[in-house]
Every structure is written in structure tokens, then in C-alpha cells.
A and B are shown apart, each in its own frame.
Chain A
């Protein structure tokens, strides 16, 4: 649902300016997830369910800690557990809190055909407004992180809102509030980058020489960022993409071809009309006599 207290920077399938008169407030926000501090307790999953009134099905144990196995319309965030040996004989348990990355250049919003079903607030949060969602699934094709899920209950797309309803009234997201180790922090994007730099220095001192901030430039940066111990190998973290981009196919489809092809159809109709009024119809002379 639209939040009157937040300005809108971009709106799906809309070619005119979005409501944007308020003076820029605190600027872009960001959530920083420090994977080196995560203990995999899933309190953030619970907090997300609590705040958003979501209850996923109780599944079955399939031999790994991941539960639920994947994001769903009821699970907007899930812990993904990866057991890796970056160095021979040294097991590491990398636990990544997966969910919407809130891209600065959101592929879902670009692909969405329904006006106002996806909005990007001026603070950077990308939100789905389900009352405008038509259930086409185009957002799934647009997303470089495989995040949106269509509900079987109402055929609408759902994902993490970054608790836009909480942020809009000056609160931090529910997952941030509940995290017992301080692995998830929230604030202005500038502050979060600064905070991450401190963490990365610390990690480097402790031997993680490739520790880095994950704020991928291919999608214009994100408003959910990770501190990765192995910043050179994001794929280790349950296949976090190294260089995520909006697929060139989606850019082709919802980029230049969309207006050009529409124009082409219009031109074809005009060409026909002007051919008729210049060259004229093709008539057979005897036809009048025969009728």
C-alpha cells in the first residue's frame, strides 16, 4: 500500500513523473548484513513473519539447516547455509540471509507492466503494491537475484519490503531490531558503508584478506548490502551472483524495443491511410456493371 510519508522515485509502467514534492529527507537508507557475525539463529526470519503477519507451511527436514528451503510468498527472507572449504581442511559455515536486495536499478520495476504495482521510494526501498499487481510474473524475469514469489493464494507477487511501513515512521526493519548478534544493522547508506569499512578492516586483520563489501555496481548498488569474508568469491555464499545485472534480454524487451515497436505499429497504420489517400483504392472497372 502506498505510504503517504515516503516520496516515490520510480513507479512501474509509468511514463510521467512520480509524486516527489517533499524535500529530500535523510537520503538513501541501507541494511547491512555482516555475514561474519551471523550465527544462523533465524530470529530475523521469525521477526519478519511476526511483523508482516506471515506463516509459511511447516515443511520437512531435508538434511540441511535451510528451513524453509526457499523464499515463498510467506517467507520473505531465508537463511542459506553453505559449508565450504576455502582452504583445504578448514571448514567454514557461511550463512547468508537471503531476500530482496533493493537494487538502485530494480529489474523487477523495469519489467513490471502494471502502473504502480512496483515503486521505488526516494530512500531506495523497492516495494510491491500488491493491489496493483496483476500476477503476470514479469518481475521474476527482471530480478537478477531470483527474489519475487507469486502467491498461489491470490496470484500476487510478494517479497521483502525492507519494512517500508516501519522505516516510513522512523523505525528500523523488524529483522534488524531482533538480530541478537548485531549482524544486521540499518541506517543511511553512507553510514552503513562507513560501518562496513570498519568491519572489513577488522576482518582483514584477522586473516580474511579478501573481506569486502557487497554493493554490486551492475544494478546501481543495492540498499541491502553484505559484508563478505570472501569478497572475491560471492558465489560461495549460496550462489550470490558475482556481478549481477538486469538481463540484456529484459533490457531489450522493456528498453528500446518497447517504444520503437509501438511506434512501428502506429507508422504502419499511418502508411496504410496515406497510401489510400494518395495512390487510392484498387478498383476493377467492370465491377460496378456486374453488381
Chain B
């Protein structure tokens, strides 16, 4: 009964945390150049020029490791009928009224939305980022494209940061979740309560 269930392997956890660390660094350095209120964050990276130099390289690391992670979890993020029923009761989920929620697999609809948001926004960030990457690539693109790229980059980053705020909060909110990504396991009760279809699959119960 009390045997923990494996949710993430060591490789999956490492992959996730490389993306997470790169996201935090890219996010802080990017915000520094987005609004003057955040410019002080350049101090974390050794000043303005270093922030400008490092940001795109951090972004490329995030992109590469995210794509590896996305490939691992792609199949598990297709929407099902149960997800739609779960989504219809999102109000109850938020109010912690979980009784009678449909049985869902490894990921619920909220997690899947986050996944697809990242799948769209991270490649957009890479492409728009390359266009404005000084001094290596930006000189090869016309100015009208640079203007589109800065707006796309800011919007995609904003959506991504909002998504990650929700993601981090959900991990804090739903007790017993963080250990899935730190130690790799969740309790049987956690699996049964939040992801019953996955629990059945894992335990055969």
C-alpha cells in the first residue's frame, strides 16, 4: 500500500531541471532587457553587455533540452475525452472539490495545455531570437523583420513565463507533486487521487 510509484526516471528529472535552470536564467536576463524596472537583474549576469551576450546562448540550451523533453512526453500529452470532462470541472479543481472528477492518465488537461503552450512558444522564441541575435545573426535580416521578431519574442516569452508561474504554483499547491521531479516517485495515494488511470496502468489495480 505505501510503496512509492516511479513517475520520472533520473534522466527525465535531469532533463527537466536543465530546462528549468535555463528557463530561470533566460527569463531573468530577458526581463532585464524588457522593462527598466527589471534592468537591475543585469547585475546577476555581470552587467548589461554580459546579459546581452549570455541570454541567447542560455536560450539555445533551453530550446535543445526542451525539445528532448518534449519528444519524451509527446505521446502522453494527447487530449482525451476524460481530459475534456476534467476541464469542464476546472472550477471545482481550483476550489479543491475533487470528488467525482474523471479518471485521468499521467497528465491532466492543465498539464497538457502547459505542454502545448511550451511546444509552440519555445520554438517561436528560438526563431525570433536568432533574428535579433547581435552581433552574429541580426545584421543579416532586414529591419522590418527585426521589428516583428522583437514583438514575437516578447509575446512568446510573456506567455511562457505566465505558463511557468502557473506550473510552479501548481507544484506547490498540489502537495506531493514536487518529489516526483526531485526524487522521481509519488505516493500511491497521490497517484490514485490525481491520476487514477495512470495509477491503474502502473499498478494493475
Contact = CB atoms under 8 A, between A and B. Distances in A.
B205 interface: no
A281 B175 CA distance: 7
Contacts of A253: 147, 150-151, 154
B20 interface: no
Contacts of A282: 96, 98, 173-175
Interface in A248-277: 249-250, 252-253, 257-259, 261-262, 264-265, 268-269, 272, 275-276
Contact of A141 (B147, B161, B165, B169): B147
B176 A287 contact: yes
A264 B158 CA distance: 9
Contacts of B49: 134-135, 155
A171 to B, nearest CB: 32
B203 interface: no
A5 interface: no
A185 to B, nearest CB: 31
Interface string B25-48: 000000011111111001000011
B188 A290 contact: yes
B151 A290 contact: no
A155 B135 contact: yes
A281 B37 CA distance: 32
Contact of A247 (B95, B147, B166, B189): B147
B35 A259 contact: yes
Nearest to A252: B151
Contacts of B176: 283-284, 287
Contact of A290 (B143, B144, B187): B187
Contact of A272 (B151, B154, B165): B165
Nearest to B147: A249
B165 A136 contact: no
Of the listed residues A141, A152, A276, the one surrounded by the most CB atoms of chain B closer than 10 A to its CB is A141
A136 B52 contact: yes
B138 interface: yes
Interface string B180-196: 00000001111011100
Nearest to B37: A262
**Interface size bucket, B side?**
35 or more
Of the listed residues A15, A134, A280, the one surrounded by the most CB atoms of chain B closer than 10 A to its CB is A134
A126 B174 CA distance: 53
A279 interface: yes
Give the secondary structure class of B's interface: helix
B158 A265 contact: yes
A163 interface: no
A51 B54 CA distance: 35
A140 interface: yes
A146 B150 contact: no
A284 to B, nearest CB: 4
**Interface size bucket, A side?**
35 or more
A77 to B, nearest CB: 20
B96 A279 contact: yes
A258 B35 contact: yes
A136 B133 CA distance: 8
Contact of B138 (A137, A152, A262): A137
B148 to A, nearest CB: 6
Contact of A287 (B32, B35, B98, B187): B187
Contact of A257 (B143, B147, B154): B154
B94 interface: yes
A275 B94 contact: yes
A132 B188 CA distance: 56
B166 A279 contact: no
B164 to A, nearest CB: 10
Contacts of B190: 284, 287
A141 B150 contact: yes
B118 interface: no
A113 B51 CA distance: 12
Interface in B115-172: 132, 134-135, 138-139, 143-144, 146-148, 150-151, 154-155, 158, 161-162, 165-166, 169, 172
19 contacts: A15-B37, A136-B134, A137-B138, A141-B146, A155-B49, A247-B144, A249-B150, A249-B151, A253-B151, A259-B35, A261-B154, A272-B172, A275-B94, A276-B172, A281-B173, A282-B174, A287-B176, A287-B190, A289-B2
Given A268-B166, A282-B175, A290-B2, 20 more contacts: A113-B34, A137-B134, A137-B135, A137-B138, A141-B146, A141-B147, A150-B134, A152-B135, A258-B34, A259-B35, A261-B154, A264-B158, A272-B173, A281-B175, A284-B176, A284-B194, A286-B187, A287-B175, A287-B176, A290-B188
